[in-house]
Amino acid sequence: MSGCRHRTFPLIAVEVRRKNKSMTQTASRQPIGNPVHAGHPPDPRKGIRDMALRIGFDAVGFCKANLGAEARERLTHFIQAGYHGDMGWLAARADQRSHPQSLWPEARGVVVVGLSYAPADDPLSATTQRSNGAISVYARNRDYHNLIKGKLKHLAQFIVSRCASDVKVFVDTAPVMEKPLAQSSGLGWQGKHTNLVSRDHGSWLLLGEVYTTIELEPDQATTDHCGSCSRCLDICPTKAFPAPYQLDATRCISYLTIEHKGPIPHHLRKAIGNRIYGCDDCLAVCPWNKFAQPTSHEQLIGRDVLTAPTLAALIALDDQQFRLMFSGSPIKRIGRTRFIRNVLIAIGNSGDPALRPCSEALRLDPDPIIAEAADWASEQLNQPSS
């Protein structure tokens, strides 16, 4: 979902940005990449790759603007099984997701880029601090959408100016199947947890795409290197994987704490623990992470205040304080109601009697979702076993 990245959901993507038309009219047609040889047009990939790396992306690859039958079948099964839950937009634009040229008929090639957000320390350490909240690694600083979008615009302008190409850029908000495209472009493969796994960056790549009218020679697609490993499946607290390479988002903590708007199902609340925004468990245990270097992008390095904030401080936030604390953060998108609901679930799981007054104070909250979660949290803390 990533939203979710987060970003843990398969097949979820991005926002459309058209290029400036005046840019095409004045664009230089100077080729990029290798010089022209008789009968052979220049290959633009080297110039694009060099620019992408110079802009600050950590990985870049190329593929054609189409997807194979396997990606379409995965999406169809995901929706038909009801695994998308409240995310009706996944089903509504399924055809555009599974067929890039249905989204933009003129598209011929795709430039796929990745930005590493690998943490420097154990991303799961916060889940052991029961009186504190655990926030997914990607959401502990600035909203990555804005960071990637800015870099993609620079890359798109470069492509337009050198190739006189039409382009569209995407960063996790339009109907684009990012992970299959990333696999086709050689950035990694979709692991058993359905997220992208890179041999160089582990499970810690944020993705973006440039659709272009250029015919690009595709890079070699990455093959699966999960082998017999099942760590990501085994660690999932809510057992959200019906089978390897399949995710039931309605059981996924990232979905429940970010995308789901109503009360969280009671039978899943205990397993959520103190995770108040997203979940990194399946990502963090991937063995390929041993090759990942901590991110060098300052805006993706976790802020201390969001690494393991106290539940007592978070539950006291009013709407203005919530907006101020999470300004520029992806957390702001879910709004205070969903966030306080999540914090109350964590309070109920904390076993900390000192937090009981916090949940008791919200049992009569005018928002029914908050009031119900406060009732549940108070009942949990009143149990002798808590």
Q: Which two tokens stand for residue 137?
A: 């690694």
Cβ-based burial of 384 (10 A; exposed 0-12, middle 13-18, buried ≥19) = exposed
8-state DSSP, 229: -
Q: Which two tokens stand for residue 18?
A: 């058209």
Nearest-angstrom CA–CA distance, 22 and 272: 51
Best CA proximity match to 135, nearest among 361, 311, 378, 327? 311
Catalytic residue among 143, 172, 248, 281: 172
To the query of whether residue 172 is one of the catalytic residues in this protein, the response is yes
Nearest-angstrom CA–CA distance, 217 and 41: 12
Measured N-to-C along each axis, helices 45-55 and 144-163 cross at an angle, to the nearest 10 degrees, of: 150
Q: Is there a contact between 300 and 126 (Cβ–Cβ < 8 Å)?
A: no
**Owner of token pair 């011929």:** 108
Query: What do you get for the CA distance between the two ends of the chain, in Å?
Result: 32
Please, how many CA atoms are within 13 Å of residue 372, restricted to the half-sphere of its CB?
11
Report the helix count and the strand count for the chain, using DSSP H and E.
18, 9
Which parts of 164-199 fold into alpha helices (H)? 178-184
E-assigned strand segments in the chain: 17-18, 59-64, 109-116, 134-135, 167-170, 189-190, 196-197, 205-212, 275-277
Torsion sign, CA atoms 370, 332, 5, 11? positive
Give the residue numbers marked as catalytic: 172
